[in-house]
Amino acid sequence: MTTPCPLCELDESSLIWQNDKLAVIDANETDYPGFCRVIWRQHQTEMTQLEPDQRQRLMAAVFTVEQQLIEQLHPDKVNLASLGNQVAHLHWHVIPRFKDDRHFPDAVWATAKRQPASRQPISTEQLTDWLQPTLDQLPPN
C-alpha cells in the first residue's frame, strides 16, 4: 500500500491562496514566521515534467511570495528551496531568514546553532492578507 501524498490533499487551515494550478500554504514553522510553501496542484515530482509556461507560472508565484515577504518582514535573506526528497510532490519552500534565527547562516534543516530569537508569530490570516492580493494578479491559468 502506498502512502498518500500530503500535498495532494491540502490542509485547508494552512491555505493562504489557490487556483486550479497552484496553492500557497503557511508551513506553520514556529521558529520561521512567514515560511510558506508554493505547491503545484497536480502531482508531479520534477520541474521538467511541467510545460515551459507552467514552469513560468509556478516560478512567478514563488517570486511573488518572496517579494511580498521581503516587503512585509524585511528579512536578512530569503531561502528558496525545492527538494522533494521526503515529499515527492513539486513544491517550493520560501523561507524568510534572519541572522539571529536558530540556524543562520545554515539551512533551516541543519543542526541548530543557537536558541531561537523571539519573533512575533504570523498567522495564516496575516499571510493571506499580505499575499493574496498580489497572487490574485498573476496571469490566469
pLDDT digits (tens, 9 = 90+) for 31-64: 999 999 999 999 999 999 999 999 999 999 999 9
Q: What is the CATH number of the domain that holds 36?
A: 3.30.428.10
Helix (H, G, I), strand (E, B) or coil at 131: helix
85 within a domain of the structure (yes/no): yes
Residue 2 lies in a domain: no
Its domain, for residue 53, covers 12-135
Query: Which pLDDT value is given to residue 93?
Result: 97
Terminal CA-CA length for the chain: 34
Whole-structure pTM value: 0.94
Residues 6+ apart with CB under 8 A from 16: 24, 25, 26, 36, 124, 127, 128, 131, 132
Task: Please identify every stretch of the chain with a pLDDT value under 70, giving residue numbers as ranges.
Answer: 1-2, 141
Domain total for the chain? 1
By DSSP bridging, strand 36-40 and strand 77-81 are unpaired
